[in-house]
Amino acid sequence: MSAEGAAGPLHAAARRYAPRTVPLLPRSKRPRSESWPDWAATRDAVDRHWQAHPDDNVGVRVGHGLAIGDVDPRGGGDDNLADLEHTHGELPATVTVLSGGADNGRHLYFRAPDELETFTLATGVQVRALAGTGRPQQCVAPPSIHPDTGREYRFAPARAPWEIPVAPIPAWMLAGATGKRQARTPEQWVTQLGAAIVEGDRHPTLIALAGHLIARRVDPHVTLALVRAVNEARCTPAKPDSELVELVDWVCGQEFADERELLEKLR
């Protein structure tokens, strides 16, 4: 898509990614608006937004046909993904983003079933698609600025969307999602939360726990307290408290889209 008339590279990228575009706060991974899953990313809406907020980072919605393999080297993602490829075969060449973080993480883009939900393929390797609530998730995209390093997210050499198509997700990766979409019973939660939660599994486990509680109308304050308790007792290492607040806040935003007052309880 032509970027003619765009105010800058972030604006041009936002146009390119529409209708999956998500406005993020400057130098942040966080959406500017809590209602981002329902934001209509039309050409006019994108232009108006980035003309008003030219420094906003840009994200893309995932789910509904698009999945992203999020490889976190800090959690052993590179090694674990290499082991899986050794067993099942190399991944197809596809659009690939280098995160710009100090950990040199990667985002691998795949075409996927519309109903696919986020799941952990291995420690440090998460396949991001729909949240457990059925709402889309979002992923930071180039040329956004990484909040910690100040470096740009960028496409890997010869792996930009204008250079290579998004490949279909391999069947062996999809096999890793088997059973993930089934709601956990209380007994399953007791079993899972009785074990250590390692780094690559912390976010999906805690967000699933928050979703399980909020969907059952547990008060957000209570939900946050329980997530904090599990984080402190079981996560290795524990996540920062600010991330837990954002996590529960985000789940509330998905589950209570029309009940915004609940979000204020977490602020």
What tens digit of pLDDT does each residue of 85-107 get?
988 889 999 999 999 888 889 99
> 75 falls in which pLDDT band (50, 70, 90)?
confident
Q: Is residue 3 part of a domain?
A: no
Same domain, 192 and 171: no
For residues 228 and 226, give the distance between their C-alpha atoms in angstroms, rounded to a whole number. Answer: 5
> 113 falls in which pLDDT band (50, 70, 90)?
confident
Tokens, residue 69: 């393999």
Tokens, residue 11: 């604006």
The range of the structural domain enclosing residue 241 comes to 186-266
State the total domains in the chain: 2
For residues 140 and 200, give the distance between their C-alpha atoms in angstroms, rounded to a whole number. Answer: 18
For residues 164 and 108, give the distance between their C-alpha atoms in angstroms, rounded to a whole number. Answer: 12
CA 190 to chain centre: 26
Same domain, 166 and 192: no
> 2 falls in which pLDDT band (50, 70, 90)?
very low
Question: Cα–Cα–Cα angle for 40, 16, 46, nearest 5°?
Answer: 35
pTM above 0.75, yes or no: no
Per-residue pLDDT reduced to its tens digit, 151-206? 999 999 999 999 999 999 988 888 777 544 445 677 777 887 888 887 657 777 88
Residue 207 near residue 132 (C-beta atoms within 8 A): yes
Domain-ending residue, one of 148, 175, 202: 175
Same domain, 68 and 94: yes
Tokens, residue 247: 């996590």
Q: What is the residue whose two structure tokens read 């600025």? A: 145
